[in-house]
Structure 1
């Protein structure tokens, strides 16, 4: 199959159905079914295509890793999807590349490190995320908002506001930077 021939609506629908089954099996404690569904998700080309689409259309896709590769054309996406799919199907042959280190200035004048993986490594990570993230979400704290799908700073503010208007709420908030 080719990346350029994927029917996106049905691919996303298929993945969500499998992820829902994965969560159900996890909640029932059916370890063998969880493993089977994770493998099914990982080995299917639709998952690979979704992962490649995510990393090649994000704003970070224009930032190359150490290899200097940026994916811009449909042909390059097709080739990347084939490469990532072969890696996911045979993970023992895969060795991730080194991460490019850049230093980002902070407001206080200091700098923080940022690691930029190659586009192949980002795509492989995106594919594995589809098989792991639903289970992480099952166990995550409901008051955790950072770096989570469908959660934002506004959600954190609303949750905090809800806690503060409670009659037995604290009178003080400590803000540490």
Structure 2
């Protein structure tokens, strides 16, 4: 037969209680960091959405934290608009503005401009010639409506000067 005798003096009770308190405080610290991360991603997402809502652009924003760092990466999805043609200029201002307002560092902004058009839908649109408000699509449509063949011929210097 095996007998185990355990004596608890005040020092061992204090050590066990201290271990339990340290363990619980660490668990609470982990939950706090997780909530802080969720709040930071939500703050960045809401800020970018509001930023573009004031300009009249409809965007969907996703925000992700980089591994082990206090930096974030965002994904902005929008319809292809001419004002986003030079989005790299907008990125620097937006990153600085996010840091200034929320205190969070955005490492990189990725843009996504999905265009869902099937061949049949494109043919129907070409036939219907639906007018659009976006100048970007008008430029592309005008470029594609031009003649597909090139015409090369000699011209006099006066004709050249008159055409420019």
Compute the TM-score of the two structures, normalised by the length of structure 1.
0.23
Bigger RCO of structures 1 and 2 (CA < 8 A, at least 6 apart)? 1
More strand by share: 2
| TM-score where L is the length of structure 2 | 0.24
